[in-house]
Structure 1
Amino acid sequence: MTHVFGIPEPEPLALRLAASRVRDTSGLLRVLHAAGPAPLLRFGSRSAARHWAEHREEAALHRAWLDIRAPLDLGILDSAASPAALADAIAARTGAWSTSELSRIAALPQEEARAVLAFGLRALGHDGLCGLDPVADPGERVWIALDPEQVITVEETTIGHDRAPWEIPATEFCAAHEVGDCFFFEGREEDFDWIWADAALPGRLLPQCWRGAEDRPAEAGYRIHELVSGPAGTLVLIDPDGVACGFRMGAILWIDEAHRGRGLSTPLIFAACDRMGGPIASANCCYSIEGHAAHVAAHRAALREAPCPVVPAEPAARKDADAEDGLNPNSE
């Protein structure tokens, strides 16, 4: 799209991320992480970034989405490799450079070698690299962009601040200044009409960041998307018919009554944690009894899903039969 003055208008975020091939190994959109010294624009999972930063909690962490539309998959990608070593791997896969050309690339300063690498990849029709790094994180892809313009910044933070749901203590995960029936709200009130309206427009939704497992009938066919409008990290739950039936915005969590009893509040809370990279509410939040119980249930589920599962203790808070399983989530 071109502006009337001949200046190209920025492509909408939803279109950029829909066109991007950058997904996790399940085909879902994820915020990626970059940390530590790197000669190229190298991004990967939270675990990969911690490896690159040598697990220094104070190390800077760059969280971003990537717009890479034609990556060259190297199969195995050594994310610590120099541009010259990557040129060798690319040449082995594509025949891009001769032995003498590779020798000249190896003799170049890193910045010049990086430019040659990018030029050669673009000549082959590629705008990035991807592959599995068995050292940084054996289970997820590592991505290398060729241009800073391909990096869509989400957040600048530190390694220590960015945490998986199971790494967040219950006192932060379920933080609440006050819990009571007086904090119940109705998600279909007109204050939230804009969420439902935008959720019905495909151009207002980013690619899905969660989908229900087909072997779990209660969640099969459901999916979660982020809205491009509203506060950062506003998520909507879409039912199997393609209709929005719930949302998460800040500490506010809602699922329509017809869709409760399926455990869908837990993936909404997990998706919010993943998107925000840590605690998803502040200690001064107020929850309904059901909403707080949904967060307690989600934290218990997170501990069970941790790489080293933890058997959570029974919470002291009042339990609700539905909300304890994350089924009746109403907060704020």
Structure 2
Amino acid sequence: MTSLFDSYRLGGLVLPNRVVMAPMTRVRAAAGGLATPSMAAYYAQRATAGLIVSEGVQPNVVGQSNPGTPGLHTDEQVASWRPVTGAVHASGGRIFAQIMHGGRVSHPETTGLRPVGPSEVAAVGDVFTPSGPQPAPLPRALDTAEVPGQARSYAEAARRAVDAGFDGVELHGANGYLISQFLSSNANLRTDGYGGSVTGRIRFAVEAMAATVDAIGAERTGIRLSPGGTFWGVRESDVPELYTALLTELARLEPAYLHLEATTDEDVLIALRRVWPTALVVNPTLPMGPKQTGRDDADRWLGLGADLVSFGRAFIANPDLVERLRGGLPIAPADEATYYAGGDTGYLTYPAYPYAA
């Protein structure tokens, strides 16, 4: 039986275990979307993961969702990431950058720009801004001629990510952000070739992936999806049909992996496993839901066909999570008040387990 601690070849990388650190927003970037020395220390502390996927990184200014998040669209940002990737590699780790375009989940107070989306439909809920939470504004619908440029923005950020030392990238196609908005049947009301039918709604995701694969290679490219998820008010009709069509088209590009969240029925996820020909990463519990992923969840999904299992919140308070899982040691709780608080408290201050000599 496959073990969580078996090695795995992912593209050109050999992962020493099958534990993936899931992408998690921590809003610790400096002004200008720059990565910081604290971010280098944070990721290096967690380098025993088989693979780290970074927090969401915006590919352009209009794609920034939250204040305090890092970017990969300027030379200065690229330079700021090199000490981060260098620290992870020096600690024996591997790291992909998650490329995240927020689309309509943004605010002019954060970016100076009106958010964009597939249609003029506002997200549901309050978005973070420099002055505090505010209702999500009405986005500007992208013109048909603009859409390919936003799809290419993922590839442009991916080139910069490789230049910054990342081992690859994960396109954020989940959780109600731009790719997810195009997949949605209530956020995407378009009547051109990027909306309407399943074929139209998956087009943006396929074009973003194709451009990224062309830019940096399939073996360095993954994508995260949340089938049936309702984050920020998105709804998807015909989830099995939609995602079977999407995965069939994405599989033609032979990317390194698919990262699925457990946001729909288990039988749907298992059916999608059968469609997908390369590595499958599964996040077994609902992101920000009541339950954190544990060892039992991981073992179960490895038995159901996952190749790798991602852990989110457990990595916040347990920089040595891999060894805690291996030894059946207690998983420390994280302080939710410091998730997005800024500073090093609740970021770099969680200790490793006090192992006996």
Question: Which range, TM-score by smaller chain?
Answer: under 0.3
Q: Which has the larger radius of gyration?
A: 1
Which one has the bigger strand percentage?
1
Q: Compute the TM-score of the two structures, normalised by the length of structure 2.
A: 0.24
